[in-house]
């Protein structure tokens, strides 16, 4: 990482006199604020350059669902440099009064505007103390909001960071609180500015992040929101395509992940979105959706780190299929951990797949689907599963598990089992009824969905979004009971899979076996190897891989 020294900072004490020279703006209450963080992305886009449309932006597909064409009074307006205030549940941005002005005209400073969930727009005018701070014009390039502060990267004055008060109850509403000249420009930039199309606020470090286009490279940069110091974070030129600009950045609260849109990617006339995971070294770039190029656009969002499933969509996995999700615990308190197994990561949407592992393999270095080992076999006569839980919240939660016992490609209420998740790190055990006799005669795969709820009194279902916990989908095998291991078998060090068949006699199917895998070729149980949170290795899994677990449900996937 390369850090550059900042040039100039007008601090709050120095600006106090300037603030007193101009009256604060006023604004009526928002007509339709969001009831809470929508956990979605939004876009302000314009096809003509004369009017912006507020749209829901499906980040995973790079597609728009229009909400409203924006007007101020009855006049069409263009809104840029937008951000979402999570304390007010509205958007803030700038309205280009006349952009670009004709030679000799102006200046026409941008106005600061508020936009609610339905696209209703109000203005508080240009920054009230602009002239008092020695500036004749205000043109914004990028912007975002954090609480009651609005952060604008400016074209006029060139390459400044304005921190503007957007608190409707403040005596300095609409005033510039901090005026910083950014510590550097993009090399070769004829406009002498940092060449970024958008930035967003990272709540974990107070940085403003964007993708810089410079010298044919695409680099992630961080701008310190207090000092204006610019830091090169990572050169992602090999992973991000050449593009006109990267004009929409969506930072996820609670993680170091962000999503970015490339307009006219590879000059192909398409807009493509990418997820950038900055918590990995080197950062991991994951391509998402693509659609028609948006060209004139700016992103705004309220995104919380959220975990989704990855079973086929017949089980309701994706958002489009009304699939479930868990907003990760650390979004609310980074010291608390409450999830299945030992790892959890966030996703922008469900990842339906016939292999039930797309949420696990999307980050190669992190096996976050670690609560149920690959190769898990349950006794179809009395299915039972003990699941490791990480819980340092100080209170018990609830583990719910759906097991597709009838193999119909859906989860029913009769296929749900629940168990208390203890207040300290430990395990929770689920038990289901026996599989139908007609289905239990041979080895068959079965879909398993686990949901860990922070609320111990919740009524589990297969569709809701909840705070805390985790969701994991797995493909397990259901086998009829078999002869348990002989007495004196080696100690078991592998994950718990069912109950030990205490008291079972040779030939007795028992009630499940802990740490053993059933070999359908020999009709015997073989000891497993491995650790409680890693995929199993060894002879038992090799045999299973050649047998029952290569069987997959042949079902039509709904999109």
Percentage above 70 pLDDT, the chain? 78
What pLDDT, on a 0 to 100 scale, did the predictor assign at position 538? 33
pLDDT tier for residue 549 given thresholds of 50, 70 and 90: very low
- pLDDT tens by residue, 418-439: 999 999 888 999 999 988 776 6
- pLDDT tens by residue, 64-80: 999 999 999 999 999 99
166, 125, 122, 174: which is closest to 148 by C-alpha?
Answer: 166
Please give the residue that has the higher pLDDT: either 472 or 12: 472
**At residue 495, does pLDDT exceed 80?**
no
Give the other-Cβ count within 10 Å of 394's Cβ.
Answer: 8
Q: How far apart are the C-alpha atoms of 400 and 277, rounded to whole Å?
A: 30
What pLDDT, on a 0 to 100 scale, did the predictor assign at position 546? 31
- pLDDT tens by residue, 296-354: 789 999 999 899 999 999 999 988 899 999 998 777 777 788 999 988 878 888 878 88
Please give the residue that has the higher pLDDT: either 256 or 181: 181
What pLDDT, on a 0 to 100 scale, did the predictor assign at position 344? 85
**At residue 131, does pLDDT exceed 80?**
yes
- pLDDT tens by residue, 32-61: 999 999 999 999 998 877 899 999 999 988
Q: What is the mean pLDDT of residues 157-178?
A: 97
Average pLDDT of the chain to the nearest whole number: 80
pLDDT tier for residue 235 given thresholds of 50, 70 and 90: very high
Q: How far apart are the C-alpha atoms of 1 and 220, rounded to whole Å?
A: 11
What pLDDT, on a 0 to 100 scale, did the predictor assign at position 100? 60
Domain assignments of the chain as residue spans, ordered by start: 2-304, 307-550
Q: What is the mean pLDDT of residues 495-499?
A: 34
Angle at CA of residue 504, ends 503 and 505, nearest 5°: 115
**At residue 491, does pLDDT exceed 50?**
no
**At residue 537, does pLDDT exceed 60?**
no
134, 148, 108: which is closest to 18 by C-alpha?
Answer: 134
**At residue 240, does pLDDT exceed 70?**
yes
CATH number for the domain running over 2-304: 2.120.10
Q: What is the mean pLDDT of residues 387-395?
A: 92
pLDDT tier for residue 441 given thresholds of 50, 70 and 90: low
Q: How far apart are the C-alpha atoms of 181 and 229, rounded to whole Å?
A: 9
What pLDDT, on a 0 to 100 scale, did the predictor assign at position 99? 57
Please give the residue that has the higher pLDDT: either 470 or 348: 470
**At residue 154, does pLDDT exceed 80?**
yes
The three state secondary structure string of 426-471 is EEEEEECCCCCCCCCCCCEEEEEEEEEECCCCCCCCCCCEEECCEE
Q: How far apart are the C-alpha atoms of 401 and 340, rounded to whole Å?
A: 12
């Amino acid at each position: 990482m390369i850090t550059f020294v900042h040039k100039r900072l007008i601090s709050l004490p120095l600006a106090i006199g300037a603030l007193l020279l101009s009256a604060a703006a006023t604004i009526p209450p928002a007509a339709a604020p969001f009831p809470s963080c929508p956990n979605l992305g939004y876009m302000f886009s314009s096809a003509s350059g004369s009017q912006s449309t507020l749209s829901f932006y499906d980040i995973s597909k790079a597609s728009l669902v229009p909400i409203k064409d924006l007007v101020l009074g009855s006049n069409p307006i263009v809104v840029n440099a937008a951000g979402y205030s999570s304390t007010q549940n509205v958007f803030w941005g700038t309205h280009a009064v006349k952009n670009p002005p004709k030679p000799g005209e102006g200046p026409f400073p941008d106005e600061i505007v508020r936009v609610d969930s339905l696209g209703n727009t109000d203005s508080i005018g240009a920054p009230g103390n602009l002239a008092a701070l020695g500036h004749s014009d205000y043109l914004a390039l990028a912007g975002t909001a954090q609480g009651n502060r609005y952060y604008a990267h400016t074209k006029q004055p060139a390459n400044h960071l304005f921190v503007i008060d957007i608190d409707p109850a403040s005596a300095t509403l609409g005033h510039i609180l901090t005026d910083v000249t950014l510590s550097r420009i993009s090399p070769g930039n004829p406009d002498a500015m940092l060449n970024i199309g958008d930035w967003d606020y990272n709540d974990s470090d107070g940085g403003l992040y964007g993708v810089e286009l410079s010298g044919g490279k695409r680099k992630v940069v961080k701008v310190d929101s207090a000092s204006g110091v610019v830091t090169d974070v990572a050169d992602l030129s090999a992973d991000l395509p050449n593009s006109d600009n990267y004009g929409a950045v969506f930072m996820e609260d609670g993680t170091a992940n962000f999503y970015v849109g490339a307009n006219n990617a590879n000059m192909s006339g398409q807009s493509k979105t990418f997820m950038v995971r900055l918590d990995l070294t080197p950062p991991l770039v994951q391509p998402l959706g693509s659609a028609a190029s948006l060209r004139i656009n700016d992103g705004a969002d309220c995104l919380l780190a959220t975990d989704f499933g990855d079973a086929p969509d017949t089980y309701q996995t994706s958002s489009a299929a009304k699939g479930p999700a868990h907003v990760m615990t650390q979004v609310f308190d980074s010291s608390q951990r409450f999830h299945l197994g030992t790892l959890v990561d966030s996703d922008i949407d469900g990842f339906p797949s016939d292999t039930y592992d797309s949420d696990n393999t999307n980050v190669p270095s992190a096996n976050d689907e670690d609560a149920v080992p690959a190769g898990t076999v349950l006794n179809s006569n009395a299915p039972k599963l003990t699941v490791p839980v990480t819980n340092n919240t100080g209170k018990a939660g609830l583990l719910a598990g759906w097991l597709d016992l009838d193999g119909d490609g859906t989860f029913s209420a009769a296929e749900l089992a629940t168990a208390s998740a203890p207040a300290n790190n430990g395990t929770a055990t689920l038990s289901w009824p026996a599989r139908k006799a007609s289905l239990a005669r041979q080895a068959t795969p079965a879909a398993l969905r686990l949901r860990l709820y922070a609320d111990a009194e919740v009524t589990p279902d297969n569709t809701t979004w909840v705070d805390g916990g985790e969701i994991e989908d797995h493909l397990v095998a259901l086998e009829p009971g078999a002869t348990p291991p002989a007495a004196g078998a080696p100690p078991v060090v592998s994950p718990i899979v069912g109950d030990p068949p205490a008291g079972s006699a040779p030939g007795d199917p028992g009630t499940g076996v802990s740490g053993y895998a059933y070999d359908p070729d020999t009709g015997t149980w073989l000891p497993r190897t491995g650790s409680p949170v890693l995929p199993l290795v060894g002879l038992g899994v090799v045999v299973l891989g050649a047998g029952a677990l290569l069987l997959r449900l042949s079902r039509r996937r709904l999109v």
